[in-house]
Structure 1
Amino acid sequence: MTGTEDEIMGEPVIAMRKVTAELGSRPVLRGIDLTVRAGEVVALLGANGSGKSTAVRTLIGQVPAGSGTVELFGTPRRSFRDWARVGYVPQRTSAAGGVPATVAEIVASGRLARTRFRFFRGADREAVHRALDLVGMADRAKDPVTALSGGQHQRVLIARALVSEPELLIMDEPMAGVDLASQEVLAATLREQVAQGTTVLVVLHELGPLEPLIDRAVVLRDGCVLHDGPPPRAVGQHALPGHDHVHPHAPAGAEPSRTGLLS
Protein backbone atom coordinates (compact mmCIF):
# COMPACT_ATOMS: atom_id res chain seq x y z
CA MET A 1 0.00 0.00 0.00
CA THR A 2 1.33 3.44 -0.90
CA GLY A 3 1.76 6.26 1.61
CA THR A 4 -1.06 8.18 -0.09
CA GLU A 5 -3.45 5.23 0.26
CA ASP A 6 -2.40 4.86 3.91
CA GLU A 7 -3.25 8.51 4.57
CA ILE A 8 -6.63 8.19 2.85
CA MET A 9 -7.55 5.09 4.85
CA GLY A 10 -6.09 6.33 8.13
CA GLU A 11 -3.20 5.02 10.19
CA PRO A 12 -3.60 1.62 11.87
CA VAL A 13 -5.07 1.99 15.35
CA ILE A 14 -5.29 -1.77 15.90
CA ALA A 15 -2.93 -4.27 14.32
CA MET A 16 -3.00 -7.97 15.17
CA ARG A 17 -0.75 -10.27 13.14
CA LYS A 18 -0.85 -14.08 13.25
CA VAL A 19 -2.17 -13.95 16.81
CA THR A 20 -2.85 -17.18 18.66
CA ALA A 21 -4.35 -17.55 22.12
CA GLU A 22 -5.52 -20.31 24.43
CA LEU A 23 -8.03 -20.48 27.25
CA GLY A 24 -6.79 -23.13 29.62
CA SER A 25 -5.15 -25.55 27.23
CA ARG A 26 -7.76 -25.07 24.50
CA PRO A 27 -6.69 -23.14 21.36
CA VAL A 28 -9.19 -20.35 20.72
CA LEU A 29 -7.38 -18.02 18.29
CA ARG A 30 -5.49 -19.78 15.52
CA GLY A 31 -3.40 -17.09 13.87
CA ILE A 32 -5.80 -14.21 13.22
CA ASP A 33 -4.95 -10.99 11.38
CA LEU A 34 -6.97 -7.89 12.21
CA THR A 35 -6.29 -4.27 11.24
CA VAL A 36 -8.53 -1.33 12.15
CA ARG A 37 -7.57 2.09 10.81
CA ALA A 38 -8.27 5.51 12.27
CA GLY A 39 -11.91 6.47 11.80
CA GLU A 40 -13.11 2.99 10.82
CA VAL A 41 -16.06 1.20 12.37
CA VAL A 42 -15.36 -2.53 12.23
CA ALA A 43 -17.70 -5.28 13.38
CA LEU A 44 -16.19 -8.51 14.67
CA LEU A 45 -18.77 -11.20 13.91
CA GLY A 46 -19.11 -14.92 14.46
CA ALA A 47 -21.04 -17.63 16.25
CA ASN A 48 -20.66 -18.29 19.95
CA GLY A 49 -17.27 -19.88 20.53
CA SER A 50 -15.74 -18.48 17.33
CA GLY A 51 -13.18 -16.41 19.26
CA LYS A 52 -14.69 -12.90 19.05
CA SER A 53 -14.48 -11.99 22.73
CA THR A 54 -11.12 -13.72 23.14
CA ALA A 55 -9.73 -11.63 20.28
CA VAL A 56 -10.85 -8.44 22.04
CA ARG A 57 -9.53 -9.58 25.41
CA THR A 58 -6.21 -10.49 23.81
CA LEU A 59 -6.10 -7.07 22.19
CA ILE A 60 -6.41 -5.26 25.53
CA GLY A 61 -4.17 -7.68 27.42
CA GLN A 62 -6.70 -9.63 29.48
CA VAL A 63 -5.74 -12.82 27.64
CA PRO A 64 -2.06 -13.39 26.75
CA ALA A 65 -1.19 -13.96 23.11
CA GLY A 66 0.57 -17.26 22.57
CA SER A 67 2.27 -15.97 19.43
CA GLY A 68 2.01 -13.17 16.90
CA THR A 69 2.06 -9.41 17.41
CA VAL A 70 -0.50 -6.98 18.84
CA GLU A 71 -0.19 -3.20 18.44
CA LEU A 72 -2.31 -0.25 19.58
CA PHE A 73 -1.68 3.11 17.88
CA GLY A 74 1.53 1.70 16.40
CA THR A 75 2.91 0.64 19.80
CA PRO A 76 3.36 -3.00 20.85
CA ARG A 77 0.60 -3.81 23.31
CA ARG A 78 3.12 -4.85 25.98
CA SER A 79 4.61 -1.33 25.87
CA PHE A 80 1.36 0.59 25.46
CA ARG A 81 0.54 2.82 28.43
CA ASP A 82 -1.75 5.55 27.11
CA TRP A 83 -4.99 3.81 28.05
CA ALA A 84 -6.92 7.08 28.17
CA ARG A 85 -7.00 6.79 24.38
CA VAL A 86 -8.94 3.52 24.63
CA GLY A 87 -12.50 3.04 25.88
CA TYR A 88 -13.53 -0.55 26.59
CA VAL A 89 -17.07 -1.85 27.11
CA PRO A 90 -17.01 -5.47 28.35
CA GLN A 91 -19.83 -7.93 27.95
CA ARG A 92 -22.64 -6.79 30.18
CA THR A 93 -22.13 -7.57 33.85
CA SER A 94 -23.19 -5.77 37.01
CA ALA A 95 -21.57 -2.38 36.54
CA ALA A 96 -20.42 -2.23 40.16
CA GLY A 97 -19.46 -5.87 40.49
CA GLY A 98 -21.42 -6.10 43.74
CA VAL A 99 -19.77 -3.00 45.25
CA PRO A 100 -22.22 -0.33 46.52
CA ALA A 101 -21.78 2.65 44.21
CA THR A 102 -23.78 5.31 42.44
CA VAL A 103 -24.10 5.63 38.69
CA ALA A 104 -21.85 8.72 38.70
CA GLU A 105 -19.17 6.94 40.76
CA ILE A 106 -19.01 4.04 38.32
CA VAL A 107 -18.73 6.39 35.34
CA ALA A 108 -16.11 8.51 37.14
CA SER A 109 -13.92 5.41 37.54
CA GLY A 110 -13.43 5.42 33.78
CA ARG A 111 -11.78 8.84 34.07
CA LEU A 112 -8.85 7.52 36.15
CA ALA A 113 -6.70 6.72 33.12
CA ARG A 114 -6.82 10.40 32.17
CA THR A 115 -6.52 11.90 35.66
CA ARG A 116 -3.78 9.44 36.70
CA PHE A 117 -5.39 9.33 40.14
CA ARG A 118 -5.08 13.06 40.86
CA PHE A 119 -8.01 14.89 42.47
CA PHE A 120 -11.02 15.40 40.22
CA ARG A 121 -11.31 18.84 38.71
CA GLY A 122 -14.20 20.71 37.17
CA ALA A 123 -13.36 19.36 33.72
CA ASP A 124 -13.51 15.80 35.05
CA ARG A 125 -16.92 16.32 36.64
CA GLU A 126 -18.14 17.90 33.40
CA ALA A 127 -16.86 14.87 31.47
CA VAL A 128 -18.82 12.53 33.76
CA HIS A 129 -22.02 14.55 33.29
CA ARG A 130 -21.45 14.71 29.52
CA ALA A 131 -20.93 10.94 29.26
CA LEU A 132 -24.07 10.25 31.28
CA ASP A 133 -26.04 12.71 29.17
CA LEU A 134 -24.86 10.96 25.99
CA VAL A 135 -26.41 7.69 27.11
CA GLY A 136 -29.54 9.27 28.59
CA MET A 137 -28.64 8.58 32.22
CA ALA A 138 -27.84 12.05 33.58
CA ASP A 139 -31.01 12.02 35.68
CA ARG A 140 -29.88 8.78 37.38
CA ALA A 141 -26.40 10.01 38.38
CA LYS A 142 -27.00 9.72 42.14
CA ASP A 143 -28.93 6.45 42.00
CA PRO A 144 -27.31 3.19 43.14
CA VAL A 145 -26.40 0.98 40.20
CA THR A 146 -28.24 -1.87 41.93
CA ALA A 147 -31.49 -0.05 41.08
CA LEU A 148 -30.88 -0.18 37.33
CA SER A 149 -32.32 -2.46 34.67
CA GLY A 150 -30.08 -4.52 32.39
CA GLY A 151 -30.28 -1.96 29.60
CA GLN A 152 -29.46 0.86 32.00
CA HIS A 153 -26.45 -1.08 33.31
CA GLN A 154 -25.19 -1.30 29.75
CA ARG A 155 -25.62 2.43 29.25
CA VAL A 156 -23.54 3.05 32.39
CA LEU A 157 -20.77 0.77 31.11
CA ILE A 158 -20.72 2.70 27.83
CA ALA A 159 -20.66 6.05 29.66
CA ARG A 160 -17.71 4.75 31.71
CA ALA A 161 -15.87 3.94 28.48
CA LEU A 162 -16.65 7.34 26.96
CA VAL A 163 -15.74 9.50 29.95
CA SER A 164 -12.02 9.45 29.14
CA GLU A 165 -12.88 10.82 25.67
CA PRO A 166 -11.18 7.92 23.89
CA GLU A 167 -9.95 7.85 20.31
CA LEU A 168 -10.64 4.11 20.12
CA LEU A 169 -13.82 2.48 21.42
CA ILE A 170 -13.86 -1.31 21.84
CA MET A 171 -17.25 -2.84 22.63
CA ASP A 172 -17.97 -6.50 23.36
CA GLU A 173 -21.57 -7.45 22.50
CA PRO A 174 -23.07 -4.09 23.59
CA MET A 175 -26.53 -5.04 22.32
CA ALA A 176 -26.76 -8.48 23.94
CA GLY A 177 -29.77 -8.83 26.22
CA VAL A 178 -30.64 -5.13 25.93
CA ASP A 179 -34.20 -3.89 25.41
CA LEU A 180 -35.12 -2.09 22.20
CA ALA A 181 -35.23 1.37 23.82
CA SER A 182 -31.69 0.95 25.14
CA GLN A 183 -30.53 -0.43 21.78
CA GLU A 184 -31.77 2.75 20.11
CA VAL A 185 -30.01 4.93 22.70
CA LEU A 186 -26.77 2.98 22.28
CA ALA A 187 -26.96 3.20 18.48
CA ALA A 188 -27.52 6.97 18.67
CA THR A 189 -24.60 7.32 21.11
CA LEU A 190 -22.32 5.38 18.79
CA ARG A 191 -23.43 7.46 15.79
CA GLU A 192 -22.36 10.60 17.65
CA GLN A 193 -18.97 9.13 18.52
CA VAL A 194 -18.38 8.01 14.93
CA ALA A 195 -19.32 11.48 13.67
CA GLN A 196 -16.59 12.88 15.91
CA GLY A 197 -14.02 10.55 14.34
CA THR A 198 -13.82 7.86 17.01
CA THR A 199 -12.46 4.54 15.76
CA VAL A 200 -14.69 1.62 16.75
CA LEU A 201 -14.23 -2.13 17.03
CA VAL A 202 -17.49 -3.76 18.09
CA VAL A 203 -18.15 -7.43 18.74
CA LEU A 204 -21.61 -8.44 17.56
CA HIS A 205 -23.60 -11.59 17.05
CA GLU A 206 -25.74 -9.75 14.50
CA LEU A 207 -25.54 -6.26 13.04
CA GLY A 208 -29.00 -5.12 14.12
CA PRO A 209 -29.44 -1.34 14.61
CA LEU A 210 -25.70 -0.74 14.22
CA GLU A 211 -25.67 -1.98 10.61
CA PRO A 212 -25.72 1.53 9.00
CA LEU A 213 -22.57 2.48 10.93
CA ILE A 214 -20.43 -0.53 10.00
CA ASP A 215 -17.68 0.08 7.44
CA ARG A 216 -16.26 -3.43 7.46
CA ALA A 217 -16.92 -6.83 8.95
CA VAL A 218 -14.37 -9.37 10.13
CA VAL A 219 -15.99 -12.76 10.59
CA LEU A 220 -14.38 -15.43 12.76
CA ARG A 221 -15.02 -19.14 12.69
CA ASP A 222 -13.16 -21.59 14.93
CA GLY A 223 -10.56 -18.95 15.79
CA CYS A 224 -9.74 -18.11 12.17
CA VAL A 225 -10.72 -15.16 9.96
CA LEU A 226 -13.35 -16.41 7.52
CA HIS A 227 -14.10 -13.04 5.91
CA ASP A 228 -12.73 -9.50 6.04
CA GLY A 229 -14.62 -7.00 3.93
CA PRO A 230 -18.13 -5.65 3.36
CA PRO A 231 -20.63 -6.71 6.04
CA PRO A 232 -22.84 -9.68 5.16
CA ARG A 233 -26.10 -8.46 3.71
CA ALA A 234 -29.50 -9.73 4.77
CA VAL A 235 -31.90 -11.35 2.33
CA GLY A 236 -35.27 -10.01 3.37
CA GLN A 237 -36.03 -7.40 5.97
CA HIS A 238 -33.75 -8.13 8.94
CA ALA A 239 -30.21 -9.29 9.67
CA LEU A 240 -31.34 -11.35 12.62
CA PRO A 241 -30.84 -14.99 13.69
CA GLY A 242 -32.92 -17.34 11.58
CA HIS A 243 -33.04 -14.99 8.59
CA ASP A 244 -31.20 -15.69 5.35
CA HIS A 245 -27.92 -13.94 4.58
CA VAL A 246 -25.64 -13.97 1.58
CA HIS A 247 -21.86 -13.78 1.87
CA PRO A 248 -20.76 -10.60 0.02
CA HIS A 249 -18.14 -12.61 -1.89
CA ALA A 250 -20.29 -15.64 -2.61
CA PRO A 251 -20.44 -16.78 -6.25
CA ALA A 252 -23.49 -15.91 -8.29
CA GLY A 253 -26.38 -18.22 -7.57
CA ALA A 254 -25.00 -19.32 -4.22
CA GLU A 255 -27.51 -20.40 -1.61
CA PRO A 256 -27.88 -18.07 1.36
CA SER A 257 -26.88 -19.48 4.73
CA ARG A 258 -29.10 -19.52 7.79
CA THR A 259 -27.87 -16.72 10.08
CA GLY A 260 -25.24 -16.14 7.39
CA LEU A 261 -21.61 -16.05 8.39
CA LEU A 262 -22.56 -15.92 12.03
CA SER A 263 -23.32 -19.59 12.44
Structure 2
Amino acid sequence: MDNPGTAAEGPVVALRGVRADLGPRPVLRGIDLTVRRGEVVALLGANGSGKSTTVRAVIGQVPVTAGEIELFGTPRRAFRDWARVGYVPQRTTAAGGVTATVTETVASGRLSRTRFGLFRKADHAAVRRALDLVGMADRAKDSVHALSGGQHQRVLIARALAAEPELLIMDEPMAGVDLASQRVLARTLEEQVAAGTTVLVVLHELGALEPLIDRAVVLRDGRVVHDGPPPKAVGQHAQPGHDHVHPHDDAAGAGPIRTGLGLLS
Protein backbone atom coordinates (compact mmCIF):
# COMPACT_ATOMS: atom_id res chain seq x y z
CA MET A 1 0.00 0.00 0.00
CA ASP A 2 1.30 3.45 -0.90
CA ASN A 3 2.54 5.69 1.88
CA PRO A 4 0.52 8.87 2.42
CA GLY A 5 2.25 11.90 1.02
CA THR A 6 4.30 9.96 -1.56
CA ALA A 7 3.05 8.07 -4.59
CA ALA A 8 -0.54 8.25 -3.33
CA GLU A 9 -0.59 11.98 -4.10
CA GLY A 10 1.16 11.73 -7.46
CA PRO A 11 -0.32 10.68 -10.80
CA VAL A 12 -0.97 7.02 -11.52
CA VAL A 13 0.12 7.53 -15.13
CA ALA A 14 2.38 10.31 -16.38
CA LEU A 15 3.71 10.82 -19.92
CA ARG A 16 6.03 13.73 -20.61
CA GLY A 17 7.10 14.55 -24.14
CA VAL A 18 6.68 10.95 -25.28
CA ARG A 19 7.61 10.19 -28.87
CA ALA A 20 7.33 6.85 -30.65
CA ASP A 21 7.89 5.58 -34.18
CA LEU A 22 6.45 2.62 -36.04
CA GLY A 23 9.10 1.86 -38.63
CA PRO A 24 10.12 5.11 -40.32
CA ARG A 25 6.84 6.81 -39.40
CA PRO A 26 6.50 8.97 -36.28
CA VAL A 27 3.28 8.02 -34.46
CA LEU A 28 3.55 9.91 -31.17
CA ARG A 29 5.01 13.39 -31.48
CA GLY A 30 5.48 14.62 -27.92
CA ILE A 31 2.56 13.35 -25.82
CA ASP A 32 1.96 14.89 -22.40
CA LEU A 33 -0.68 13.03 -20.40
CA THR A 34 -1.47 12.68 -16.71
CA VAL A 35 -4.02 10.33 -15.13
CA ARG A 36 -4.62 10.90 -11.43
CA ARG A 37 -5.78 8.40 -8.88
CA GLY A 38 -9.48 7.59 -9.23
CA GLU A 39 -9.89 9.37 -12.58
CA VAL A 40 -11.55 7.93 -15.66
CA VAL A 41 -9.78 9.37 -18.69
CA ALA A 42 -10.86 8.66 -22.28
CA LEU A 43 -8.41 8.82 -25.19
CA LEU A 44 -10.30 9.93 -28.29
CA GLY A 45 -9.34 10.58 -31.87
CA ALA A 46 -9.63 9.37 -35.45
CA ASN A 47 -8.01 6.21 -36.76
CA GLY A 48 -4.24 6.66 -36.88
CA SER A 49 -4.22 9.49 -34.33
CA GLY A 50 -2.05 7.51 -31.88
CA LYS A 51 -4.59 6.38 -29.27
CA SER A 52 -3.71 2.69 -29.17
CA THR A 53 0.01 3.41 -29.56
CA THR A 54 -0.18 5.64 -26.50
CA VAL A 55 -1.61 2.97 -24.20
CA ARG A 56 0.69 0.31 -25.64
CA ALA A 57 3.63 2.60 -24.90
CA VAL A 58 2.40 2.93 -21.31
CA ILE A 59 2.50 -0.84 -20.78
CA GLY A 60 5.79 -1.26 -22.64
CA GLN A 61 4.55 -2.91 -25.83
CA VAL A 62 5.76 0.01 -27.95
CA PRO A 63 9.27 1.43 -27.41
CA VAL A 64 9.52 5.19 -27.03
CA THR A 65 12.23 7.21 -28.74
CA ALA A 66 12.03 10.22 -26.44
CA GLY A 67 10.29 11.42 -23.31
CA GLU A 68 9.38 9.77 -20.02
CA ILE A 69 6.63 7.45 -18.81
CA GLU A 70 5.89 6.84 -15.13
CA LEU A 71 3.50 4.41 -13.44
CA PHE A 72 2.61 5.07 -9.82
CA GLY A 73 5.53 7.49 -9.61
CA THR A 74 8.08 4.97 -10.90
CA PRO A 75 9.79 5.21 -14.31
CA ARG A 76 8.22 2.57 -16.52
CA ARG A 77 11.58 1.00 -17.32
CA ALA A 78 12.02 0.29 -13.59
CA PHE A 79 8.37 -0.56 -12.84
CA ARG A 80 7.87 -4.19 -11.80
CA ASP A 81 4.58 -4.30 -9.88
CA TRP A 82 2.44 -5.17 -12.89
CA ALA A 83 -0.22 -6.82 -10.73
CA ARG A 84 -1.40 -3.24 -10.05
CA VAL A 85 -2.16 -2.77 -13.77
CA GLY A 86 -4.95 -4.49 -15.72
CA TYR A 87 -4.82 -4.32 -19.52
CA VAL A 88 -7.65 -5.09 -21.95
CA PRO A 89 -6.33 -5.21 -25.54
CA GLN A 90 -8.37 -4.74 -28.66
CA ARG A 91 -10.43 -7.87 -29.14
CA THR A 92 -9.22 -8.36 -32.72
CA THR A 93 -5.63 -8.61 -31.49
CA ALA A 94 -6.32 -10.79 -28.47
CA ALA A 95 -7.85 -13.95 -29.91
CA GLY A 96 -5.09 -16.51 -29.95
CA GLY A 97 -5.13 -19.96 -31.50
CA VAL A 98 -4.83 -21.80 -28.20
CA THR A 99 -8.02 -23.50 -27.05
CA ALA A 100 -8.88 -22.53 -23.47
CA THR A 101 -11.98 -22.39 -21.35
CA VAL A 102 -13.45 -19.14 -20.11
CA THR A 103 -12.21 -19.89 -16.58
CA GLU A 104 -8.69 -20.72 -17.79
CA THR A 105 -8.52 -17.49 -19.75
CA VAL A 106 -9.69 -15.37 -16.83
CA ALA A 107 -7.42 -17.24 -14.40
CA SER A 108 -4.39 -16.32 -16.52
CA GLY A 109 -4.97 -12.73 -15.46
CA ARG A 110 -4.55 -13.72 -11.81
CA LEU A 111 -1.09 -15.27 -12.22
CA SER A 112 0.68 -12.01 -11.32
CA ARG A 113 -0.90 -12.22 -7.86
CA THR A 114 0.13 -15.83 -7.19
CA ARG A 115 3.34 -17.34 -5.86
CA PHE A 116 4.95 -19.59 -8.47
CA GLY A 117 1.61 -19.90 -10.26
CA LEU A 118 -0.02 -21.77 -7.39
CA PHE A 119 -3.63 -20.74 -6.83
CA ARG A 120 -4.92 -20.31 -3.29
CA LYS A 121 -8.51 -20.00 -2.17
CA ALA A 122 -8.37 -16.21 -2.55
CA ASP A 123 -7.14 -16.55 -6.13
CA HIS A 124 -9.97 -18.89 -7.14
CA ALA A 125 -12.43 -16.52 -5.45
CA ALA A 126 -11.03 -13.55 -7.40
CA VAL A 127 -11.51 -15.42 -10.69
CA ARG A 128 -15.10 -16.31 -9.83
CA ARG A 129 -15.79 -12.73 -8.78
CA ALA A 130 -14.41 -11.40 -12.07
CA LEU A 131 -16.64 -13.79 -14.02
CA ASP A 132 -19.66 -12.72 -11.99
CA LEU A 133 -18.87 -9.04 -12.60
CA VAL A 134 -19.07 -9.44 -16.37
CA GLY A 135 -22.00 -11.86 -16.33
CA MET A 136 -20.06 -14.85 -17.67
CA ALA A 137 -20.19 -17.25 -14.71
CA ASP A 138 -22.65 -19.48 -16.57
CA ARG A 139 -20.14 -19.91 -19.42
CA ALA A 140 -17.17 -20.69 -17.15
CA LYS A 141 -16.49 -24.15 -18.63
CA ASP A 142 -17.07 -23.22 -22.27
CA SER A 143 -14.29 -22.71 -24.80
CA VAL A 144 -13.58 -19.06 -25.54
CA HIS A 145 -13.88 -19.94 -29.24
CA ALA A 146 -17.58 -20.70 -28.69
CA LEU A 147 -18.32 -17.14 -27.56
CA SER A 148 -19.80 -14.23 -29.44
CA GLY A 149 -17.74 -11.09 -29.92
CA GLY A 150 -19.41 -9.32 -27.00
CA GLN A 151 -18.97 -12.32 -24.71
CA HIS A 152 -15.31 -12.62 -25.67
CA GLN A 153 -14.81 -8.97 -24.79
CA ARG A 154 -16.39 -9.58 -21.40
CA VAL A 155 -13.91 -12.42 -20.81
CA LEU A 156 -10.96 -10.17 -21.67
CA ILE A 157 -12.19 -7.60 -19.17
CA ALA A 158 -12.72 -10.31 -16.53
CA ARG A 159 -9.14 -11.47 -17.16
CA ALA A 160 -7.87 -7.97 -16.39
CA LEU A 161 -10.11 -7.65 -13.32
CA ALA A 162 -9.01 -11.00 -11.87
CA ALA A 163 -5.81 -9.39 -10.61
CA GLU A 164 -7.85 -6.71 -8.82
CA PRO A 165 -5.81 -3.91 -10.42
CA GLU A 166 -5.57 -0.34 -9.20
CA LEU A 167 -5.18 0.90 -12.79
CA LEU A 168 -7.29 -0.46 -15.64
CA ILE A 169 -6.16 0.30 -19.20
CA MET A 170 -8.62 -0.59 -21.97
CA ASP A 171 -8.15 -0.34 -25.73
CA GLU A 172 -11.46 0.04 -27.59
CA PRO A 173 -13.50 -2.17 -25.21
CA MET A 174 -16.78 -1.31 -26.96
CA ALA A 175 -15.65 -1.86 -30.56
CA GLY A 176 -17.83 -4.37 -32.37
CA VAL A 177 -19.71 -5.25 -29.18
CA ASP A 178 -23.49 -5.75 -29.14
CA LEU A 179 -25.66 -3.36 -27.15
CA ALA A 180 -26.39 -5.88 -24.36
CA SER A 181 -22.68 -6.46 -23.78
CA GLN A 182 -22.00 -2.72 -23.92
CA ARG A 183 -24.43 -2.24 -21.05
CA VAL A 184 -22.84 -5.06 -19.05
CA LEU A 185 -19.37 -3.63 -19.63
CA ALA A 186 -20.51 -0.13 -18.66
CA ARG A 187 -22.08 -1.44 -15.45
CA THR A 188 -18.92 -3.45 -14.66
CA LEU A 189 -16.72 -0.43 -15.18
CA GLU A 190 -19.04 1.69 -13.04
CA GLU A 191 -18.56 -0.76 -10.15
CA GLN A 192 -14.79 -0.68 -10.55
CA VAL A 193 -14.72 3.11 -10.59
CA ALA A 194 -16.92 3.24 -7.49
CA ALA A 195 -14.37 0.97 -5.78
CA GLY A 196 -11.58 3.45 -6.59
CA THR A 197 -10.04 1.96 -9.74
CA THR A 198 -8.26 4.42 -12.02
CA VAL A 199 -9.16 3.98 -15.70
CA LEU A 200 -7.49 4.97 -18.97
CA VAL A 201 -9.67 3.91 -21.90
CA VAL A 202 -9.31 4.28 -25.67
CA LEU A 203 -12.64 5.01 -27.38
CA HIS A 204 -13.97 6.05 -30.78
CA GLU A 205 -17.00 7.55 -29.07
CA LEU A 206 -18.07 7.77 -25.43
CA GLY A 207 -21.34 5.88 -25.86
CA ALA A 208 -22.49 3.97 -22.79
CA LEU A 209 -19.38 5.05 -20.87
CA GLU A 210 -20.06 8.79 -21.16
CA PRO A 211 -21.46 9.20 -17.60
CA LEU A 212 -18.24 7.74 -16.15
CA ILE A 213 -15.73 9.87 -18.05
CA ASP A 214 -14.04 12.59 -15.99
CA ARG A 215 -11.74 13.88 -18.72
CA ALA A 216 -11.22 13.43 -22.44
CA VAL A 217 -7.85 13.65 -24.14
CA VAL A 218 -8.20 14.03 -27.91
CA LEU A 219 -5.27 13.07 -30.13
CA ARG A 220 -4.64 14.14 -33.69
CA ASP A 221 -1.59 13.16 -35.70
CA GLY A 222 0.22 11.95 -32.58
CA ARG A 223 -0.36 15.12 -30.59
CA VAL A 224 -2.75 16.15 -27.82
CA VAL A 225 -5.17 18.74 -29.17
CA HIS A 226 -7.68 18.73 -26.30
CA ASP A 227 -7.43 17.79 -22.63
CA GLY A 228 -10.47 18.62 -20.58
CA PRO A 229 -14.22 18.03 -20.41
CA PRO A 230 -15.49 15.37 -22.82
CA PRO A 231 -16.58 16.92 -26.13
CA LYS A 232 -20.25 16.81 -27.02
CA ALA A 233 -21.43 15.21 -30.24
CA VAL A 234 -23.05 17.64 -32.68
CA GLY A 235 -25.20 17.39 -35.79
CA GLN A 236 -25.61 13.92 -37.26
CA HIS A 237 -23.04 12.58 -34.78
CA ALA A 238 -25.49 13.19 -31.96
CA GLN A 239 -28.02 10.80 -33.45
CA PRO A 240 -28.56 7.52 -31.56
CA GLY A 241 -26.47 4.68 -32.88
CA HIS A 242 -24.07 6.91 -34.84
CA ASP A 243 -20.59 5.39 -34.84
CA HIS A 244 -18.59 7.06 -37.56
CA VAL A 245 -14.83 7.54 -37.37
CA HIS A 246 -12.97 10.08 -39.45
CA PRO A 247 -9.66 8.74 -40.82
CA HIS A 248 -9.47 11.88 -43.00
CA ASP A 249 -8.52 14.14 -40.10
CA ASP A 250 -7.75 17.78 -40.78
CA ALA A 251 -4.07 18.59 -40.77
CA ALA A 252 -2.74 19.41 -37.32
CA GLY A 253 -3.65 22.90 -36.33
CA ALA A 254 -6.27 23.41 -39.06
CA GLY A 255 -10.00 23.53 -38.46
CA PRO A 256 -12.07 21.93 -35.73
CA ILE A 257 -11.13 18.68 -34.04
CA ARG A 258 -12.74 15.63 -35.60
CA THR A 259 -13.27 12.58 -33.44
CA GLY A 260 -15.66 9.66 -33.44
CA LEU A 261 -17.94 12.08 -31.62
CA GLY A 262 -18.11 14.58 -34.46
CA LEU A 263 -16.77 18.12 -34.29
CA LEU A 264 -15.27 19.79 -31.27
CA SER A 265 -14.94 23.50 -31.86
Question: Quick check: TM above 0.5?
Answer: yes
Deviation sequence 1:138-193 (CA, Å, 0-9, x none): 01111111110100110000000000000000000000000000000000000000
Q: What is the letter of the counterpart of residue 162 of structure 2?
A: V
Alignment match, 1:85: 84
Distance 1:255 1:227, change over 3 A: closer
1:224 aligns with 2:223: yes
Distance 1:63 1:134, change over 3 A: same
Report the alpha carbon displacement of residue 233 of structure 1 after superposing the two structures with TM: 1.2
Which ranges of structure 2 fall in alignment gaps of 5 or more residues? Answer: 246-254
Answer yes or no: is the 8 Å Cα contact 2:16–2:67 preserved in 1.
yes
Alignment match, 2:58: 59
Answer yes or no: is the 8 Å Cα contact 2:190–2:212 preserved in 1.
yes
Which ranges of structure 1 fall in alignment gaps of 5 or more residues? Answer: 1-5, 244-253
Answer yes or no: is the 8 Å Cα contact 1:208–1:240 preserved in 2.
no
Distance 1:50 1:108, change over 3 A: same
Alignment match, 2:134: 135
Deviation sequence 1:236-260 (CA, Å, 0-9, x none): 55584469xxxxxxxxxx9896843
Alignment match, 1:3: none
Answer yes or no: is the 8 Å Cα contact 1:135–1:189 preserved in 2.
yes
Q: How far apart are the structure 1 equivalents of 2:66 and 2:258? A: 33
Q: How far apart are the structure 1 equivalents of 2:263 and 2:54? A: 17
Report the alpha carbon displacement of residue 29 of structure 1 after superposing the two structures with TM: 0.1
Q: How far apart are the structure 2 equivalents of 1:90 and 1:61? A: 13
Q: How far apart are the structure 2 equivalents of 1:27 and 1:107? A: 35
Distance 1:124 1:242, change over 3 A: closer
Deviation sequence 1:200-220 (CA, Å, 0-9, x none): 000000000000000000000
3-state SS of the aligned residue for 2:43? Answer: strand
1:260 aligns with 2:259: no
TM-score between the two structures when normalised by the length of structure 2 = 0.87
Answer yes or no: is the 8 Å Cα contact 2:46–2:258 preserved in 1.
no
Q: What is the letter of the counterpart of residue 146 of structure 1?
A: H
Distance 1:96 1:49, change over 3 A: closer
Q: How far apart are the structure 2 equivalents of 1:45 and 1:179? A: 20
Q: What is the letter of the counterpart of residue 73 of structure 1?
A: F
Alignment match, 2:250: none
TM-score between the two structures when normalised by the length of structure 1 = 0.88
3-state SS of the aligned residue for 1:22? Answer: strand
Over the aligned positions, Cα root-mean-square deviation in angstroms equals 2.3
1:12 aligns with 2:14: no
Report the alpha carbon displacement of residue 24 of structure 1 after superposing the two structures with TM: 1.1
Higher mean alpha-carbon deviation, 96-105 vs 218-227, is at: 96-105
Alignment match, 1:168: 167
Runs of 4+ that moved beyond 6 A: 254-258
Answer yes or no: is the 8 Å Cα contact 2:256–2:263 preserved in 1.
no
Q: How many residues align?
A: 246
